[in-house]
Structure 1
Amino acid sequence: MKTPSKTKKLNVAKSQKIIKKRRRVKIGAVLVFLIILVLLLSLFFGILSKPITNIYISGNNYLSDQEVIELGALDNYPSAIKNLSLLIKKRLEKSDLIISAKVKKKGFTRVYIEIEENRPLVFNSSINQTILLDGTTINEKMPSSTLVNYVPDTIYDSFINAIKGIENNVLERVSEILYNPNDVDAERFLLIMDDGNYVYLTLRKFDSINNYINIIKKFGDKKGILYLDSGEYFKVLDN
């Protein structure tokens, strides 16, 4: 038969074992938690520091890829997570030269940018400014045709709207534009083409120049004056 003192000693020993076991469990749980925390922090900071690896750009004709990258503040290939698609889009659309931008990410670090350029319409030499597609002006000469003389305020806005209606592949062939009214039409213009031809237009028929390429094909290598202000007459110039 166990004496009270022996029973008491056994109970104390059991209690100590239980306490030690609980301590080991707590320490183990803390260690597991710390390991998981370190792994999560490593993963987080790894993702945070992971840079953009590839940038793909489309829709740009006047802006170079590098200029688009710089406008999007991506020139140093920064952190992918700190440069969300929406932030890049907002940066791009702050530029006067971009109407809209679509930005998507694939594989987290690959950025795809599609822009709609606010392309230059004409450089107005009277005010030394370039008029853009949306009607805004910038104090910079961009590649475009040149309006060489003054256009009256009464028809200037109509002229800009008429230029907007010219297809880009045709407008790119226009070297200079002169306001050239006559006794019959106060809204008459002369377009000097970069292929050596001349085209007369009136504001009411400005969009007829969109057929320029097909019209000129009929005359081969001949150079001359195309009268689109009154029908479709081509006068060959003597060499």
Structure 2
Amino acid sequence: MEDRKVVTIEDRIPTLKAQRKQRANRRLVVYLSIFFFLILLIIYFQSSLSHIRNIEVSGNHYVSDKEIQKLSGVNDSISFWNINTKEIETSIKQSKEIADVTVRRQFPATVTLEVIENERVAYLKKGSKYFPILQTGTILDALPSSDTPVSAPILMQWDESTELSNMAGELRKVKMSIINRISEIHYTPEGDKAFNITLFMTDGYEVRTSILQFAEKVNNYPLIVKELKDKPKGVLYLNEGSWLEPYEDISVEEEEKKES
């Protein structure tokens, strides 16, 4: 029978003491780590280290980054953790030109402002000045003299009347792809037809129609023009129905009138 080595309690005491000391040391390290981490957090939140250092603006075309930042009220004196995104969004949307905005925080110190602007559906020409008209129907202040209207038609021979308000309301319902194909919209009333207008299109057609139900009529323009692709350009009438009067026929009629 093999001899079994008997370990007395006196022999085990040094090992138990060493194990307890190791556990105590580990606990101390954990407590000290938590303590110093909390100290660092307090220093971070109380110092400029937690302040916003970068403000990024995107999605804007007409409203400048500087103006949007000013509207937001966000600056480098504000803590990254103390910003109220909903309040910032509300502040920025006070601008007539801003349709929507999303505010996001990006660690460690960046705030992003993603903007959606109201589209400019037309420019009202008065003298040498151009006043942008938004998709909401709002007429903005005149463009700086150095700026020129882009990507929207110019309204000619209009004043700020009921007809202009009706026109702005109709333009809100027109697809932007079609808005971009209109070069000019002239107010051309004739006799008792107070709502008559003439459009000059970028593809060479002249369109004569009415403010009444304008959006419904002009939204069909691409399909109508597609059917006319093999015919000469001319004046396209969009009223109860649609028909084309080629420019060459109009020229012949004018010559005959001169001769008679």
Q: Which TM-score band applies after superposition, normalised by the shorter structure?
A: 0.5 to 0.7
Q: Deviations over 1:17-74 (max 9, x none)?
A: xxxxxxxxxxxxxxx7995664233332375136337x4734x5x437xx24651348
Structure 2: how far apart are the matches of 1:115 and 1:35? Answer: 41
Pairwise CA distance, 1:108 = 5.6
Match of 1:140 among 139, 142, 148: 142
Alignment check: 8 A CA contact 2:122 2:134 kept: yes
Match of 2:126 in 1: 126
* Offset, 1:110: 5.4
Query: Which consecutive aligned stretches of 4+ in structure 1 deviate over 6 angstroms post-superposition?
Result: none
Please report how far the alpha carbon of residue 82 of structure 1 lies from its aligned counterpart in structure 2 after TM superposition. Answer: 5.8
Query: For structure 1, which runs of at least 5 residues remain unmatched after alignment?
Result: 1-31
| TM-score w.r.t. length of structure 1 | 0.68
Q: State the Cα deviation string for residues 95-142 of structure 1 (Å, max 9, x = none).
A: 221122222335464545443322222222237422222232222335
Distance 1:37 1:180 in 2: 74
Letter in 1 for 2:235: I
Which residue of 1 is the match for residue 177 of structure 2? 169
Which stretch of structure 1 is more off in the superposition, 185-194 or 213-222?
A: 213-222
Partner of residue 96, structure 1: 96
Q: 1:225, 1:237 within 8 Å by CA — same for their partners in 2?
A: yes
- Partner Cα distance (1:84, 1:154) in 2: 42
Which of 68, 92, 96 aligns to 1:71? It is 68
Superposition TM-score, scaled by structure 2 size: 0.63
Task: Measure the CA separation in 1 of the matches of 2:141 and 2:177.
Answer: 24
Which residue does the alignment assign to 2:23?
none
Cα 1:41/1:185, change in 2 over 3 Å: same
Match of 2:237 among 203, 227, 232: 227
> Among residues 201, 214, 218, which one is paired with 2:223 in the alignment?
214
Closer, same or farther in 2 for the Cα pair 1:57/1:120, shift >3 Å?
same
**Structure 1 segment 110-125 matched on structure 2, within 5 A:** 111-125=111-125
SS of 1:71's equivalent in the other structure is helix
Say which SS state the counterpart of residue 160 (structure 1) adopts.
helix
Counterpart of 1:49 in structure 2: which amino acid? H
SS in 2 for 1:189: strand
Matched residue type, 1:232: S
- Number of aligned residue pairs: 203
* SS of equivalent residue, structure 1 residue 94: coil
The answer on whether the counterparts of 2:118 and 2:135 sit within 8 Å (CA) in structure 1 is yes
Distance 1:160 1:37, change over 3 A: closer
SS at match of 2:158: coil
Give distance in 2, aligned partners of 1:92 and 1:126: 30
1:13 alignment partner in structure 2: none
In structure 2, the residue matched to 1:12 is none
Distance verdict in 2 for CA 1:157–1:68, change over 3 Å: same
Task: Please give the secondary structure, in 1, of the residue aligned with 2:103.
Answer: strand
Alpha-carbon spacing, 1:81–1:152, altered in 2? closer, same or farther (3 Å): closer
Q: Deviations over 1:77-96 (max 9, x none)?
A: 84644654235424422322
Say what the alpha-carbon RMSD is for the aligned residues: 3.5
Deviation at 1:156, TM superposition (A): 2.9
Identical residues among aligned pairs (%):
22
Counterpart secondary structure, 1:161: helix
Q: Tell me the distance in 2 between the aligned counterparts of 1:118 and 1:230.
A: 31
